[in-house]
Amino acid sequence: MKKMQQLLMVLLMPLFALSITTYAEKYTEGKQYTKVNETVSAKAEVREYFSFYCPHCLRFEPFMETIKKSLPEGVKFERNHVDFLRAASPKIQAMLTKSVVVAEQLDMENKLVGAVFNYIQIQRAVITSEKDIHNIFVLNGADGDKFDKLMKSFSVNSKAKSLKKNQDIMSKKGALKGVPAIIVNGKYRVNSQELDKNNFEQDYQNLIKYLLTLK
């Protein structure tokens, strides 16, 4: 089986090289994508900067799931909630950042992220405290005690601080002018308005795959 996989990879390499060349001719820095950093991240990643208070982010959710599933093996998709929208205080938005990390650790990310989006944007309800987030999670199948413990845990707080740091770095570089924003390998931001409107989803996927090959 291993030999068959190796043979398949050898056979596919010329096609892969051809596709990269084609993408290089199609996608131009400063048009379909912008370089926002001088160095790439240590590990291959596609990072979505988003906010629960952003209507466009909600509409993008199904598409982001498609992007996640289309990524090459070994490439991580990372949700990075931001705290700079005016719809809520930075404190509440920071709690929501932590809640995304908790949802990941509970292995219920998609369901719970969807529930928070629904609560804020569909039900038009207001989050005023951590208790509100706790209740949303419990109503959608999460263990309340686990939620409370995780929100106070070192791992969740460390990850939330890391997400905040990423946000601040990209904001200072002028890379985050709004959300949703996709940044590949910490260096290249997708300019979605420049992609093919007649074949948007495929063009978006192809651009991300191309950007993952750049250094």
User: Tell me: the pLDDT tens digits for 57-106?
Assistant: 999 999 999 999 999 999 999 999 999 999 999 999 999 999 999 999 99
Q: How confident is the model at residue 23 (pLDDT cuts 50, 70, 90)?
A: confident
Domains of the chain plus CATH, in order, are 24-211 (3.40.30.10)
Q: What is the mean pLDDT of the chain?
A: 92
Q: How confident is the model at residue 22 (pLDDT cuts 50, 70, 90)?
A: confident
The answer on pLDDT for 168 being more than 60 is: yes
Residue 33 has phi, psi (to 5 degrees) of -150, 160
The structure's pTM equals: 0.87
Q: How confident is the model at residue 19 (pLDDT cuts 50, 70, 90)?
A: low
pLDDT at position 15: 47
pLDDT at position 48: 98
The answer on pLDDT for 16 being more than 50 is: no
- Rounded mean pLDDT, 7-24: 56
Q: How confident is the model at residue 158 (pLDDT cuts 50, 70, 90)?
A: very high
Distances in Å between the alpha carbon of 183 and those of 47, 110, 173, 176?
5, 20, 12, 9
What single-letter amino acid sits at 87? A
Determine what percent of the chain is predicted with pLDDT higher than 90: 87
pLDDT at position 20: 63
pLDDT at position 180: 97
User: Tell me: the pLDDT tens digits for 124-138?
Assistant: 999 999 999 999 999
Cα(126)–Cα(96) distance, rounded to whole angstroms?
Answer: 12
Cα(47)–Cα(44) distance, rounded to whole angstroms?
Answer: 10
